[in-house]
Amino acid sequence: MHLTKAEIITLGRTLDVDYAMTTSCYDPSSDGAACGHCDACQLRLRGFEQAGMHDPVRYR
């Protein structure tokens, strides 16, 4: 609860979380691609950027 998105992502990396298997999107397409525009996608993308990492999720 007290970590930033970037800190959560960095911690997940140290725990070998496969972020390609996760999504945050409120409105994914029928094939599972994230929209890239909803609040959840924007927060996720910003968190990965601030952590200096590439988000492996497919975006439309």
What pLDDT score does 1 carry? 85
21-56: pLDDT as tens digits: 999 999 999 999 999 999 999 999 999 999 999 999
Report which of 35, 56, 48, 57 is spatially closest to residue 4, judged by C-alpha positions: 48
| Every domain of the chain and the residues it spans | 5-50
**CA 17 remoteness from chain centre:** 11
Report yes or no: 24 and 43 within 8 Å, Cβ to Cβ: yes
pTM for this entry: 0.90
What pLDDT score does 16 carry? 98
What pLDDT score does 31 carry? 95
**Structural tokens at position 32:** 């599972």
What pLDDT score does 29 carry? 96
SS3 annotation, 16-45: CCCHHHCCCCCCCCCCCCECCCCHHHHHHH
